[in-house]
């Protein structure tokens, strides 16, 4: 049945919710004309509706009772911006089971409960759209799903956390401390309510779970993804990386070869000439390789009020167009159990940066090189810093491509040597 207007309910009136409300108030004409139907923000629900957020919400719109949205048969689209698992999952499932479409920015929820959510949407013939959940304002999900539909996606390398990228940029270019940079990112509204999700890499993991599941057309699960964050990064390594021609980035990588995929999150040294190396501050970028299109790069603001609101509203418009055309489109379901086959992590091949702390004695470097050589790891370049009056010196080695299992075996041997004084620092390296 064709409707003459679309009614929207928003749950969660925090930073992004405020941006969404602002867009509704300031860009109503554009939203309506692009949707082909009047779109009304009928209700906004939050536990706190008294704080002055600097925008004038029309009378009767604000509520603290979520049932005013979930039980309202007039509401066609529920925007979920509360974040977290509880009670967000319950609200999303209730909305879908009442035949409402859902737009969400909740990457943690989708990453963990993809099966339940997509099954409920498919069963009820409604859509779940989550453009804002990955890459903030960058239209990567739609771009990949629609614009690159003809491709087999072979590789994704992405910077997906604005907070981490902001911190690393400030550490690299302004020598700012980790804590000061994190404080700034929090003040700018990029960080999660619990910033450990950002800095320990879990926010990036949530996003690459969603992205790789869509890219590979099968479920990639959180437990398939090794995660390493940026908390332990030492400025020394950022500096040495710079000398070798690299910058430190937190990367999400998803690649597949011969039917086996590898999906992972870790800091990496990215060659300064690679496009991803110039992605700074809160910007995100997704470098994606398809078999037909070749290399592509999606770039934009990955966090913050208005960029994320932009993605939320574009989903609302997209669904409103269908409603305006009288179409009912069901979410695509990736069947539970259709898991992507994962490569064993030890088989993953990459170049490495290694920083050893060793006693400054003849033969030490030769012994390290010997262990690496025995494990099929070739050395590309070496820097040894002379530190007068110090017995210990840093030796930095860049290797050629090596298997992770070979690297682990070598480091176990090397770190046990008498001449090696600290645990070796290891990062993967991304070249052109």
User: What is the binding site for ligand HSE (CB under 6 A)?
Assistant: 136, 161-163, 190-192, 198, 203, 302-303
For the chain, what is the total number of helices (H) and then of strands (E)? 14, 16
**b/e for 35-56, b at 16 or more Cβ within 10 A?**
bebbbbbbbbbbeeeeeebeee
Residue number, 136 or 290, with CB nearest to ligand HSE? 136
Residue number, 225 or 365, with CB nearest to ligand HSE? 225
- In the beta sheet, which residues pair with residue 301? 283
State yes or no: is 335 an active-site residue: no
Comparing C-alpha atoms, which of 407, 161, 157, 203 is closest to residue 296?
A: 157
- Which tokens in the block code for residue 31? 């939203």
d(CA 23, CA 279): 27
Minimum CB separation of residue 123 from ligand HSE in Å reads 28
Residue 205's alpha-carbon distances to 43, 213, 224, 285, in angstroms, are 32, 12, 10, 15
Query: Among the options 207, 249, 332, 413, which is catalytic?
Result: 207
Phi-psi region of 306 (alpha: psi -120 to 50; beta: other; left: phi over 0): alpha
Minimum CB separation of residue 198 from ligand HSE in Å reads 5
Residue number, 198 or 224, with CB nearest to ligand HSE? 198
**Do 239 and 166 form a contact (C-beta atoms < 8 A)?**
no
Residue number, 186 or 401, with CB nearest to ligand HSE? 186
Residue number, 190 or 246, with CB nearest to ligand HSE? 190
Q: Which residue has the tokens 């332990």?
A: 232
Active-site residues, by number, are: 207
């Amino acid at each position: 049945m064709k409707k003459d207007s679309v009614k929207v309910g928003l749950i969660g009136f925090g930073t992004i919710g405020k941006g969404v409300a602002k867009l509704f108030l300031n860009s109503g004409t554009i939203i309506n004309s692009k949707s082909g139907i009047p779109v009304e923000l009928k209700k906004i629900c939050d536990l706190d509706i008294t704080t002055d957020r600097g925008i004038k919400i029309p009378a009767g719109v604000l509520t603290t009772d979520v049932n005013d949205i979930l039980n309202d048969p007039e509401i066609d689209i529920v925007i979920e911006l509360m974040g977290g698992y509880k009670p967000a999952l319950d609200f999303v499932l209730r909305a879908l089971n009442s035949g409402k479409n859902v737009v969400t920015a909740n990457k943690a929820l989708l990453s963990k409960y993809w099966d339940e959510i997509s099954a409920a949407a498919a069963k009820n013939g409604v859509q779940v759209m989550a453009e804002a959940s990955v890459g903030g304002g960058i239209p990567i999900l739609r771009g990949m799903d629609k614009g690159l539909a003809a491709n087999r996606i072979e590789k994704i390398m992405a910077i997906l956390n604005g907070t981490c990228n902001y911190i690393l940029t400030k550490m690299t270019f302004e020598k700012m401390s980790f804590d000061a940079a994190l404080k700034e990112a929090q003040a700018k509204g990029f960080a999660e309510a619990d910033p450990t999700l950002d800095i320990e890499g879990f926010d990036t993991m949530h996003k690459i779970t969603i992205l790789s599941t869509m890219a590979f057309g099968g479920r990639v699960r959180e437990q398939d993804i090794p995660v390493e964050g940026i908390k332990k990064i030492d400025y020394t390594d950022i500096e040495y990386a710079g000398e070798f021609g690299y910058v430190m980035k937190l990367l999400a990588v998803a690649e597949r070869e011969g039917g086996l995929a590898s999906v992972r999150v870790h800091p990496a040294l990215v060659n300064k000439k690679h496009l991803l190396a110039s992605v700074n501050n809160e910007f995100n970028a997704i470098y994606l390789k398809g078999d037909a299109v070749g290399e592509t790069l999606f770039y934009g603001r990955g966090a913050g009020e208005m960029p994320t609101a932009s993605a939320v509203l574009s989903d609302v418009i997209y669904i409103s167009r269908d409603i305006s055309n009288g179409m009912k489109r069901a979410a695509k379901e990736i069947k539970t159990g259709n898991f992507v086959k994962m490569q064993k992590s030890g088989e993953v091949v990459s170049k490495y940066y290694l920083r050893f702390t060793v006693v400054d004695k003849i033969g030490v470097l030769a012994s390290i090189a010997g262990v690496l050589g025995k494990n099929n790891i070739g050395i590309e370049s070496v820097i040894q810093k002379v530190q007068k009056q110090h017995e210990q010196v840093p030796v930095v080695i860049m290797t050629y491509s090596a298997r992770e299992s070979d690297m682990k075996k070598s480091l176990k041997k090397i770190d046990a040597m008498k001449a090696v004084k600290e645990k070796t620092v290891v990062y993967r390296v991304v070249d052109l």
